[in-house]
């Protein structure tokens, strides 16, 4: 998104047309300080506008399948209520689910790639026996399956 909008000025009409011309909406981003990056927050604020995404005439997301695909630096086991950060990733992503539901979209959950601050895939069972590239390939395959089953 930074490449398309380096100055932070989002072309709202273009983004809305892109959404309208495609079936599903998947927001893909790195979790940044337990949230989305600031430019994605601005995108949400600008693009999901009253009268387009919500409100009496705002129906462009109604029944549209919506999901998240996130990468997180922290290991999966740290995202537990009894874990290091005391919250699950699902709990931390609740504002996105709520936003989609507010816009009457069909929220379909999220896909997460954990542990990006370490070696790719190192947090998956048995990963210690495989080269990191294989772990990344496995995650990519799981991601494609997630998208295919929205």
Q: What is the pLDDT of residue 136?
A: 78
What pLDDT, on the 0 to 100 scale, is given for residue 38?
97
**Sign of the dihedral defined by the CA atoms of residues 96, 99, 105, 106, in that order:** positive
Span 14-58, pLDDT tens digits: 999 999 999 999 999 999 999 999 999 999 999 999 999 999 999
Specify the pLDDT at position 131.
Answer: 46
Chain centre distance of CA 124: 20
The per-residue pLDDT for 120 is: 46
Domain ranges of the chain: 12-148
Q: Which fold has domain 12-148?
A: Rossmann fold (3.40.50)
**143 exposed, middle or buried (CB, 10 Å; 0-12, 13-18, 19+)?**
middle
Block mean pLDDT (10 aa), the chain, length 150:
96 98 96 96 98 97 98 92 94 98 98 78 53 74 90
Token code pair at residue 15? 């983004």
Residue 115: the pLDDT is: 84
Which segments of 7-148 are extended strands (E)?
A: 25-30, 65-71, 106-113
């Amino acid at each position: 998104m930074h490449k398309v909008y380096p100055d932070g000025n989002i072309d709202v009409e273009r983004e809305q047309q892109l959404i309208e011309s495609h079936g599903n909406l998947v927001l893909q981003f790195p979790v940044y300080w337990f949230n989305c990056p600031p430019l994605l927050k601005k995108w949400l604020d600008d693009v999901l506008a009253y009268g387009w995404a919500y409100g009496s005439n705002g129906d462009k997301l109604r029944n549209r399948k919506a999901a998240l695909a996130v990468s997180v630096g922290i290991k999966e086991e740290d995202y537990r209520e009894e874990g290091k950060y005391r919250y699950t990733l699902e709990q931390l992503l609740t504002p996105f689910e709520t936003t989609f539901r507010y816009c009457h979209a069909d929220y379909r959950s999220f896909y997460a790639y954990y542990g990006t601050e370490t070696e790719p895939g190192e947090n998956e069972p048995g990963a210690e026996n495989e080269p990191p590239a294989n772990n990344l390939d496995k995650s990519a395959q799981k991601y494609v399956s997630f998208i295919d089953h929205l």
